Structure 1
């Protein structure tokens, strides 16, 4: 179960990196589209969602960013918390809950950022914290497994 815990922690970190890639790819495409004469207003996005036709090819990255951030990452964080009860990683439950709290904060900042622009900056900053904590959670579980194996070896040497 420790391996499941580790994989889930690293998957959260990878998903956060993908989120950054999606949003920057979409933003770059939006900039190119505007440079070519495209006009951005609320109707542009509403029409894209209603008709299912993207105004520019990179628009799909915005959709991926939203779906990934609202569904995939929270699910992975929840599975990480569940696995933490069985993984027997020192302080693993606390770290898993830390990841979950940062994910919930990230979703909240992302949704509220549409109303208060300054929260967008905090959304980006929290993403860095979430990536770091998720990666560290995975690294810690690996280190715990290595030290546990070393403890067994030294106990076997003493017994012989």
Structure 2
């Protein structure tokens, strides 16, 4: 179970990297498309046509951020109760809570653009917490202390 815990935490990190790459790809594609003389409007955004190929990056960012990462974070939290990783449930709880905050920041940033800045910053913090959780799976259990009255065997 420790290996599953570690794998899930590293998967969160890999998905965060995918998030960053996807949104950068989409924004740079949008920038190039606008520089070519195109205009972005609500009609363009709601159209069934693909205005530029990199628009797929927005979909990747949205789907992985609202479905995939929360699902993996939830599975990590459940696994943490069985993995016997020291402080593993606490780290998994921090990851899951951080993912919930991240999703909410992403949703509300459309109405309050400054939250987009916080959303990006929070992603970096979440990456570090998930990395710490993954590394925690390699930490050995603390030895159980013997009571003073127990006789030494040997």
**Does the TM-score normalized on the shorter chain lie above 0.5?**
yes
Q: Which one of 104, 110, 117 corresponds to residue 114 of structure 1?
A: 110
Match of 1:134 in 2: 130
2:97 to 92, 96, 101: 101
Unaligned 5+ segments in structure 1 are 152-158
Which structure 2 residue ranges, 5 or more long, are not aligned?
A: 144-152
Q: Distance in 1 between the 2:103 and 2:45 partners?
A: 20
Q: Which residue number corresponds to residue 156 of structure 1?
A: none
Query: Within 5 Å, which residues of 2 pair with 1:33-44?
Result: 33-44=33-44
Query: Structure 1 residue runs of 4+, over 2 Å off?
Result: none
Q: How does 1:23-102 map to 2 (within 5 A)?
A: 23-47=23-47, 51=48, 53-102=49-98
Matched residue count:
146
Residue matched to 1:20: 20
Q: CA deviation at 1:37?
A: 1.0
Deviation at 1:75, TM superposition (A): 0.3
CA shift, 1:91, in A, is: 0.7
| Structure ranking higher in helix proportion | 1
How many angstroms apart in 2 are the aligned matches of 1:43 and 1:137?
44
Root-mean-square deviation (CA, aligned residues, Å) is: 1.7
Per-residue CA deviation, residues 93-119 of structure 1 (Å, 9 max, x unaligned), is 010010001000000000000000010
